[in-house]
């Protein structure tokens, strides 16, 4: 029986993979949080992997505090870059397959068309730069690795835009949300399913792939959809990014082209509204329990 190791097990994607794992009992699953596999301790990573001996690694762990990364550059680089290099080295030398999760933040946001995997990278913040360095190290150390770039991830687990908006829309009369950053959200459960579609596919095709839900929207339009689907009585105002300054710059346009992952592995890419409805319903059920 092949063993799948999921890093970042308590994050949004790791939690969704745990939910999904019951449908893939042909695998032995190991869900590793920081207490099991501490990616900030570079010396210990290979030793831990030697003990676990996975056949497949799904690396969901990352430093994702985009604004804090501007000050915690070194820690962000260790988690998003150097630790990935170590995992890639280990997986290459142990015939272990590696799926590494990356981000739309590797782009500068100056495009006006959906970004495919060949689009030039040019990060505009520390988080994006460390994730790009991680991608480069991953493919340098393990040419058989698969990298999946994703964007605007949300889930019923963890902290995310959908849960924050749902809470604020019940607490406040009105909200302001930026309307000039364009992309598409990703329901982590859909990304988890895409990963399992790849793992169970007849052919392993290494390289970089893009995955998010279908749809081209701004954060403001995403908030309006949350308001409508959630049935919240709150006025949502669209504002320019200049009215909401943050320590880290955000790309203005990061819509991902998903045609490669769909064509190569037959991955189904759901529309963002249907996935958002599913997630909001699950959040509601969880809050009632």
**Catalytic (active-site) positions:** 127
Q: Are 209 and 264 in contact (CB under 8 A)?
A: yes
Structure-token match 């880290």, residue found: 248
Q: What angle do CA 271, 273, 277 make, to 5 degrees?
A: 125
The first and second tokens of residue 76, run together, are 């962000």
**Which value, in Å, is the radius of gyration of the alpha carbons in the chain?**
19
Structure-token match 């003990």, residue found: 51
Tell me the C-alpha distance between 219 and 213, whole Å. Answer: 14
Task: Map residue 208 onto helix, strand or coil.
Answer: strand
Determine whether 172 is exposed, middle or buried from the number of CB atoms within 10 Å of its CB (0-12, 13-18, 19+). exposed
| Residues contacting residue 195 through CB under 8 Å, at least 6 positions apart | 17, 58, 99, 148
Q: Are 99 and 59 in contact (CB under 8 A)?
A: yes
Q: Are 92 and 144 in contact (CB under 8 A)?
A: yes
CA dihedral 244, 245, 249, 250 (to 10 degrees): -10
Tell me the C-alpha distance between 66 and 214, whole Å. Answer: 24
Tell which phi-psi region holds residue 205, choosing left (phi > 0), alpha (psi between -120 and 50) or beta: beta
Q: Are 254 and 151 in contact (CB under 8 A)?
A: yes
| Residues contacting residue 148 through CB under 8 Å, at least 6 positions apart | 99, 100, 101, 102, 191, 194, 195, 208, 209, 210, 211, 261
């Amino acid at each position: 029986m092949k063993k799948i190791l999921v890093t970042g097990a308590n994050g949004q994607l790791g939690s969704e993979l745990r939910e999904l794992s019951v449908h893939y009992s042909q695998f032995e699953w190991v869900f590793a949080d920081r207490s099991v596999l501490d990616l900030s301790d570079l010396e210990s990573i290979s030793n831990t992997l030697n003990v676990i001996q996975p056949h497949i690694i799904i690396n969901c762990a990352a430093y994702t505090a985009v604004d804090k990364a501007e000050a915690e550059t070194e820690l962000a680089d260790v988690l998003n870059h150097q630790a990935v290099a170590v995992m890639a080295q280990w997986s290459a030398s142990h015939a272990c397959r590696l799926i590494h999760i990356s981000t739309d933040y590797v782009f500068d946001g100056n495009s006006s068309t959906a970004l495919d995997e060949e689009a030039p990278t040019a990060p505009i913040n520390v988080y994006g730069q460390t994730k790009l360095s991680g991608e480069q190290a991953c493919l340098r150390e393990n040419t058989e690795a698969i990298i999946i770039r994703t964007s605007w991830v949300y889930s019923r687990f963890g902290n995310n835009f959908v849960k924050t908006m749902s809470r604020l829309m019940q607490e406040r009369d009105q909200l302001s949300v930026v309307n000039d950053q364009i992309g598409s959200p990703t329901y982590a459960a859909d990304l988890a399913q895409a990963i399992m579609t790849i793992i169970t596919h007849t052919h392993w095709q290494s390289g970089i792939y893009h995955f998010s839900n279908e749809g081209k929207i701004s954060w403001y339009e995403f908030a309006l959809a949350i308001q409508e689907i959630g049935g919240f009585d709150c006025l949502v105002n669209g504002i320019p990014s200049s009215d909401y300054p943050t320590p880290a710059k955000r790309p203005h346009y990061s819509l991902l082209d998903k045609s490669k992952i769909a064509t190569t592995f037959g991955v189904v890419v759901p529309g963002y509204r249907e996935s958002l409805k599913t997630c909001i319903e699950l959040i509601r059920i969880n809050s009632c329990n």
